[in-house]
């Protein structure tokens, strides 16, 4: 039987600033022990600030949002009190040349990471392969587990081996492997081969199963570069040139091809991926509060059934909100679709009954013969949608060769 203890890497809600700084900590403290045991780590973002050529600069965070110092204090309390590892995320797409090349700046950077290490941090996403290759980070933080970033696109077994020898010991695999179980199996073979040679320091794999980006989005790199500066303002304007177009299309947005996320409605499919992956990573650092700061004490972290709303947390409703404390219960009871369960929260004043009362069974598309057929196809479809259109046929929508056929009209700002 597949174990789901310590299998999920979940996002800290970095946008919960100010009066909400303690919210994530409080929700986790209120959580049931069975929820806590499923969490592998909690990842958070932070900028590296420095001065170069008389200019104040920063880097490290394409999401454009970082945890506050108060939030980080609470994160260390979570690690100390609940035993859940916390993980710093430095995933700048293009690390400034001076951070890599200038010895003094690089020394500051290594010491910046080292400061968190001295507080007890033992996990860090590092997007700079060059800095990791120097060995300076490993010397300063000898017991740190170094994670690769999904933007480094580790998509096959040889790349996995290469990144392991580069110095990464938790390798975040490319999103495309949510649709390529055959290559995922080859990576597992490479992982077993490598770990048999180095049994004292095993390399782990992580798979980003929920983010809602299309396959190899042509805007992705530029989006992340711009996002480092403007953050979520990206979605208020310039995203009308990119993902707001297809995400805003009612018919297209409901298709699995609208985001290269794991489609594993049934427990048998989910277990297949779990047998080939050590950690499932779920995005969420941009989550915003939908409750008053005064009500934080009533919030409780749970597995939240998002009802096919593309990983969106909604307000708790009496007798309607579906949640589970224990992921094992979701698996044992085959609460379809499995991929619709996300780390979220409930308001304990209004939501008191768990899934045993509120889950009424599922009779949506994934319970039908055509849905089950599509689920099987998606495990190895390789994302060649122009020559397939099985998603459209299953959901009864018109054929679309490319998501980029869908766009919004926008007046681009001029100087």
pLDDT of residue 217: 94
Superfamily of segment(s) 1-211+260-314+322-356: Aldolase class I (3.20.20.70)
Enumerate residues 6+ apart whose C-beta is below 8 A from 200.
none
Distance CA 208, CA 261 (A): 8
The partner residues of 88 in beta bridges, in order of sequence, read: 44, 124
* Cis bond upstream, residue 351 (ω within 30): no
pLDDT of residue 225: 86
Distance CA 174, CA 209 (A): 10
pLDDT of residue 415: 45
Pair 112, 48: CB distance under 8 Å: yes
pLDDT of residue 229: 86
pLDDT of residue 310: 55
Distance CA 91, CA 14 (A): 15
pLDDT of residue 410: 56
pLDDT of residue 25: 98
Per-residue pLDDT of the chain (415 residues; tens, 9 = 90+): 899 999 999 999 999 999 999 999 999 999 999 999 999 999 999 999 999 999 999 999 988 899 999 999 999 999 999 999 999 999 998 999 999 999 999 999 999 999 999 999 999 999 999 999 999 999 999 999 999 999 999 999 999 999 999 999 999 999 999 999 999 999 999 999 999 998 888 999 999 998 889 999 999 989 988 888 888 888 888 899 999 999 889 899 999 999 999 999 999 999 999 999 999 999 999 999 999 999 999 999 999 998 655 556 777 777 889 999 999 999 999 999 999 999 999 999 999 999 999 999 999 999 999 999 999 999 999 899 999 999 999 999 999 999 999 987 655 554 4
């Amino acid at each position: 039987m597949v174990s789901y203890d310590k299998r999920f890497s979940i996002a800290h809600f970095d946008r919960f600033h100010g009066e909400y700084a303690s919210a994530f900590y409080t929700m986790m403290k209120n959580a049931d022990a069975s929820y806590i045991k499923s969490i592998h780590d909690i990842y958070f973002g932070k900028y590296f600030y420095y001065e170069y050529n008389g200019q104040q600069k920063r880097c490290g965070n394409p999401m454009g949002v970082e945890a506050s110092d108060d939030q980080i204090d609470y994160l260390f309390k979570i690690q100390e009190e609940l035993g859940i590892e916390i993980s710093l995320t430095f995933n700048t797409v293009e690390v400034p040349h001076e951070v890599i090349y200038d010895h003094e700046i690089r020394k500051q950077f290594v010491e910046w990471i080292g400061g968190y290490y001295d507080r007890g941090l033992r996990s860090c996403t590092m997007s700079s392969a060059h800095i990791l290759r120097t060995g300076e980070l490993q010397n300063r933080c000898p017991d740190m587990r170094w994670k690769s970033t999904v933007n480094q696109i580790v998509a096959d077994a040889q790349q996995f081996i290469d990144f392991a020898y580069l110095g990464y010991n938790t390798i975040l695999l490319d999103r495309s492997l949510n649709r390529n179980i055959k290559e995922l199996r080859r990576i597992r073979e490479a992982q077993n081969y490598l770990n048999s040679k180095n049994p004292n320091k095993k390399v782990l794999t992580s798979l980003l199963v929920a983010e809602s980006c299309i396959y190899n989005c042509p805007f992705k790199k530029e989006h992340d570069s711009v996002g480092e500066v403007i953050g979520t303002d990206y979605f208020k304007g310039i995203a009308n040139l990119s993902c707001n177009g297809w995400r805003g299309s009612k018919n297209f947005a409901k298709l699995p091809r609208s985001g290269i996320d794991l489609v594993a409605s049934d427990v048998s499919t989910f277990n297949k991926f779990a047998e080939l992956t050590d950690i499932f990573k779920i995005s969420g650092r941009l989550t915003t509060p939908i409750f008053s700061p005064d009500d934080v004490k009533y919030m409780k972290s749970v597995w939240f059934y998002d009802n096919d709303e593309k990983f969106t947390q909604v307000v708790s409703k009496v007798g309607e909100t579906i949640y589970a404390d224990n992921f094992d219960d979701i698996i044992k009871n085959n609460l379809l679709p499995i991929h619709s369960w996300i780390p979220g929260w409930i308001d304990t004043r209004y939501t008191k009954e768990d899934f045993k009362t509120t889950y009424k069974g599922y009779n949506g598309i994934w319970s039908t013969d055509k849905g089950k057929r599509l689920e099987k196809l998606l495990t190895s479809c390789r994302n060649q949608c122009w020559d397939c259109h099985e998603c459209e046929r299953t959901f009864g929508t018109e054929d679309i060769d490319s998501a980029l056929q869908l766009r919004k009209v926008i007046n681009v700002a001029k100087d």
